[in-house]
Chain A
Amino acid sequence: MDLISNLALGFSVALTPMALLICLAGVTLGMVVGVLPGLGAITAIAMLLPVTFYLEPTHALIMLSGIYYGAAFGGSTASILMNLPGTPSSAITALDGYPMAQQGKAGVALLVTALTSFAGGTIGIILLATLAPALVSVALSFSSAEYFTVMLLGLMAAVTLASGGPLRGFIAVAMGLLFGLVGADPQTGSVRYGFGLPELFDGLNMVAVVMGLFGVAEVLANIGRDNGRPSTNRMTLREMMPSRAELRQTIAPTLRGSAVGSIVGILPGTGVLVASFMAYALEKRVARDPDRFGKGAIEGISAPEASNNAATQTAFIPTLAIGIPGDAVMAIMLGALIIHGITPGPTVISSQPELFWGLVASFWIGNLILLVMNIPLVGIWVKLLSIPYRLLFPSIILFICVGVYTVNFSTFDVFVTLGFGLLGLAMRYAGLSAAPLLLGFVLGPMMENHFRRALTLARGDLMVFLERPISAVFLVLCLLFAISWILTARKARRARTA
């Protein structure tokens, strides 16, 4: 079998002591920066890039990708334990992970996260290894019209995942879209809603918005409720382990999430983020009792975690095979390849088999390292929860401020964070969820770009969204979402009048 000999080649590269050491270093570093608010994978990778010039290309890529998924895992840890997501996709994990932690099931949540991430990553890797060449053409057939409609579907999914019904979700998404308008117009460059403040010319800083809406709002909401924490300080391995029933509950969501993630991850630019939102929304739709979501449903962490890890793997397809990076991290990795004289393109898999298959194998080893490393670490993470509020809260706020400041060295961003903290608090009182707002905020500017671009390319003909088949399918799915809301609402009304 071709695949097996290829994978054997990959493991022979990735299992050398040097490669293992580099993978371990990358994953560990990634986890550390992922846990700290504000310091994301991009910053860590950018700072380490000069170091990788001195490594051979395969090792350089193994290290950078180790940081990448290590950071994703670290981000999930912080969102589960302290409702401090560093990125929009870990904000999804916070939706159910944080309630679980508060119910004393932090260990279970963390281990389920590690396990489902591993499973999702593995499924993504298998797809990457078997289908990469074929998937390239799928990615290329996506133009602006398709991007716009798939993001629209993402927003529809976001509306669904709000607690308290579609109308509230809709309001939150709309608020997010409005905040996303701030900054330079993508076509003309004129600044909108800038109020003459240069700090607003490029729009609101995403890290500041996330940290405010989740971290600061959480702290504010809990002030004065210092009745000590549920005692979680002494955890045995048995208590951290998910029960059999819990494990069984995660299997189907993990598979569904991986499927969604693998497909959506191929799209450069949108993949990983939209993947976790869609996986969550899908779970909530298929669940027999959707009300449990947002209150510590185990499916609510396993599906999006599997999904974003699968997407992270398949996101390498456009980067390696077409040479078009999906996001800033991928762009840096692409730069690292080019520095080493490797030209990405459809031929990279056949011309650089050691590099490609070595990377594939190291993904798997890296994910395994994360899983193994975290079994003992979970106990330490969970101890964080036994810190009394009066010490924990000020430190969280301090970490958030320092973290946000270091992104752009901007004090303005710190105030943006605090402002969004107040907004997040107000939204809680009004029964609005922050996650849909966040997705609207992140996707809004991208959707505007694709919408205007699709229309310019079609010379202003709106029918372009229906004439392109893939785009039309996404629009039909959006319509189905809308119909299902109306049906649910009517059923609810009938139940009330009856």
Chain B
Amino acid sequence: MKTPLLTGLLATTALAFGTGAALSQAADYPARPVTLVVGFAPGGPADTLARLVAQELSEDLGQPVVVENKPGAGSTIAAREVAHADADGYTLLFVTSGYSGSFAYYPSLDFTAEAFTGVSGIASTPIVITTGPEAPYADLQGLIDAARAEPDTLTYAAGGGGATLTALAAATFLDAAGLTAIPVSYGGSGPQNIDLMGGVLDFAFDTVSGSDSLIDSGQIRALAVTSAERVQTLADTPTVAEAAMPEFEPILGWFGLLAPAGTDAEIVAQLNASVATALESDAVLTRLAATGLDPMSLDAAGFDAFIARETERWGGLITELGLSAE
């Protein structure tokens, strides 16, 4: 409750000295607390990672980096706020892969991807294809054969509905494998895993962090991950390309940092370096490893190019599938 007030006061003070400060903006940065806007409710995986990174950034920048949760509307409420914020490096946006689909999924947003510039990637994670402990298929090829033999019969879950990356990955996989199956809508990992364990559901798509502890303890089985290479947490699980479909274009979920477009390039470079330092700290690496994430260090230009490719791929698929929030 105190923080916004404090930030407000500091902002007013900064405004009073504004004209003089503009010249040496990059040299003084950061002269006051930085706000990191997160489009998710406190406590979820995205928020937890954001808070951890914010803590590391605070130490490296020498100014507090304050997490502000603005959940809602597929995190476009948070994005909108940052899109309209001053491009001074004091307001940053924490984004996930969902960002790349949001412009196609929410057609009436009053800002575009041009409103942002990439700062840095933070971490990436594949989608994992899972099945119940007693499912008849031994591997991914077995699942594909079974689903081809009986089109529109097997049931599958793909996290929350709509245009989440899990749902888009499921659509991409089924299309590439030439399968049809019945989608069942679940709110998230928990409920769909209960039904996998209970044998009610045939197969599922999930984030690694949502399923890996159950995979470890043998309560559900992982058939494949959608990344280009195997991931550390699920070292025994093959990639989709290894298991059945060599041509499969990898799919990654990711987390990253954006700033309003027009932010001084030196400030962006400084933030990028701070994130890189954070990604080497033990606290962050332990957290990433525990939740099935791999660090994703990219320079600002590289991250921009990555987001552009993602936006084209998932935005295109959303349009093609006719998905829309409205």
Binding site for B on A (CB under 8 A): 42-43, 45-47, 49-50, 53, 139-144, 184-191, 194, 196, 198-199, 201-202, 268-269, 322-325, 328-329, 331-332, 334-335, 338-339, 341, 343-347, 402, 406, 408-410, 449, 452-453, 456-457, 459
Contact = CB atoms under 8 A, between A and B. Distances in A.
A268 B214 CA distance: 16
A140 B286 contact: no
Q: Enumerate the 6 nearest inter-chain pairs by beta-carbon distance, A residue then B residue, closest first.
A: A189-B162, A46-B42, A345-B217, A201-B73, A46-B43, A198-B73
Contacts of A189: 105, 160-163, 323, 325
Contact of B191 (A269, A335, A344): A269
Given A47-B51, A338-B213, A339-B290, 4 more contacts: A143-B195, A143-B198, A184-B161, A184-B162
Contact of B325 (A184, A325, A341): A184
B48 to A, nearest CB: 6
A47 to B, nearest CB: 7
Contact of B42 (A47, A143, A452): A47
Interface of B: 1, 4, 41-45, 47-48, 51-52, 55, 68-74, 76-77, 80, 105-106, 108, 155, 160-163, 182-187, 190-191, 193-195, 197-198, 200-201, 213-214, 216-217, 219, 283, 286-287, 290-291, 323-326
A277 B157 CA distance: 31
Nearest to B220: A323
Contacts of B163: 189
B41 A185 contact: no
Given A345-B213, A406-B1, A456 B71 contact: no
Given A324-B194, A344-B213, A408 B287 contact: no
A53 B162 contact: no
Contact of A456 (B68, B155, B193): B155
Given A141-B198, A184-B162, A268-B190, A202 B185 contact: no
A328 B190 contact: no
Given A143-B200, A323-B213, A46 B48 contact: yes
B213 A408 contact: no
Given A50-B55, A453-B185, A335 B76 contact: no
Nearest to B77: A198
A459 B200 CA distance: 12
Q: Which of B72, B185, B283 has its CB near the most chain A CB atoms (within 10 A)?
A: B72
Given A49-B51, A323-B217, A453 B198 contact: no
Given A184-B162, A269-B191, A409 B69 contact: yes
10 contacts: A139-B194, A186-B187, A338-B291, A343-B213, A406-B1, A408-B69, A409-B69, A409-B70, A410-B72, A456-B183
A344 B214 CA distance: 8
B217 A408 contact: no
Contacts of B52: 50
B197 to A, nearest CB: 6
Contacts of B108: 196
B184 A457 contact: yes
Contacts of A408: 41, 69-72
A408 B77 CA distance: 10
A465 to B, nearest CB: 14
A185 B216 contact: no
A406 B2 CA distance: 10
Contact of B287 (A185, A269, A339, A346): A339
A143 B186 CA distance: 12
Contacts of B193: 324
B184 A140 contact: no
Contacts of A188: 161-162, 323
Nearest to A445: B187
Contacts of B194: 139-140, 142-143, 268, 322, 324
